[in-house]
Amino acid sequence: MNSDQNTSASPKLTLNLSLKDRNTFGFDACAELAYEITAADQIPGVMNEIAEKQLTWRVLGGGSNVILPKVLPGATLLMNITGQQITTADASSTLIAVGGGVNWHEFVAWTLEEGLPGLENLALIPGTVGAAPIQNIGAYGVEIGEYINSVEVFDVKTKDFVTLTKEACHFAYRDSYFKQNPQRFIVTKVVFRIPRQWQARIHYADLAKQFSGQSSPSPEEIFLAVCKIRTLKLPDPKVIGNAGSFFQNPIVPSEQYETLRQKHPGLVSYPDATGKRKLAAGWLIDQCGFKGQRMGNAGVYEKQALVLVNHGNGIAQDILRLAKCIQDKVQKEFGVSLDIEPNIL
């Protein structure tokens, strides 16, 4: 996985590759030019070729956080760099280097098998390790940025491989330096720092309810509980197309939160590190009557209003049209803006 390894074979190139199985919405999309990246050192040559031909381009991992059009013009880099290994371990923490194309959930399960708890709250989040720091994925009170030591990337601007420290990644809620600088960095490897000292984090409502009366569940118990909760709430993309949580939970000033709480006593919210309040977007959408509703081939999942689904033969425009209706209604009813979480390509 090192960028200074001997040059690997040229990446496989496929014309008009179907991406139906590489996006969890199940949209019938295709890539004009698809490069399968299996080693970091393949990237400079591909990017030079893209620059020479003046092609548009993007990186595609597991396709769990994207909305694809029917045709992706130009070049699509399929991130398939695998491999994971413990690099160093001491009394305080363990460092693990992981390829950008590794399946996220499988990696979380592997850490527990290795006796390295900490990521269990993030179980069953779809996608790849390389996409995790871009979005700073999070769930049940844990964000991945807390556990990242560094991120190795190819800098498209300088045409060189660089390593960004955790601090340089500028992690914030569903945000990062990578997200703030789109089309500049290609994540090839993520190095995680897992502390030896572990403490159960079960303060989020669903987990607190699951472990009511149990003060200290094991990491494995939390992992299984998170899988169970997510399975009950979120549809399996193999059964019905979706990208998980479609909207970010909006963060509002404390004053606005108090005003909303007085008007809506049942308002679901969580404290935010900035001193503001994070509102439950799913609750806001549910209150507007969208849960289980359908608009053509697009719909709102019947068990979780935060999830938009493709009922079959849907296209990006179907989902985005429904999303706009939801955003407008929530804005009108609560004065709160909802931001779309998946990337619109």
294 part of the active site: no
216 part of the active site: no
Burial class (CB in 10 A: 0-12, 13-18, 19+), 266: exposed
Q: Which of 120, 143, 152, 341 is catalytic?
A: 341
Closest CA to 311 of 327, 328, 293, 338: 293
Closest CA to 29 of 21, 38, 20, 37: 20
Q: Which of 174, 176, 269, 277 is catalytic?
A: 174
Q: What tokens does 267 get?
A: 């308002």
261 part of the active site: no
Q: Which of 150, 176, 245, 269 is catalytic?
A: 245
CA distance 257 to 271: 11
HEC sequence for the chain: CCCCCCCCCCCEEEEEEECHHHCCCCCCCEEEEEEEECCHHHHHHHHHHHHHCCCCEEEECCCCCEECCCEEEEEEEEECCCCEEEEEECCCEEEEEEECCCEHHHHHHHHHHCCCCCCHHHCCCCCEHHHHHHHCCEECCEEHHHHEEEEEEEECCCCEEEEEECHHHCCECCECHHHHCCCCEEEEEEEEEEECCCCCCCCCHHHHHHCCCCCCCCHHHHHHHHHHHHHHHCCCCCCCEEEEECECCCEECHHHHHHHHHHCCCCCEEECCCCCEEECHHHHHHHCCCCCCEECCEEECCCCCCEEEECCCCCHHHHHHHHHHHHHHHHHHHCCCCCECCEEC
The catalytic residue positions are 174, 245, 341
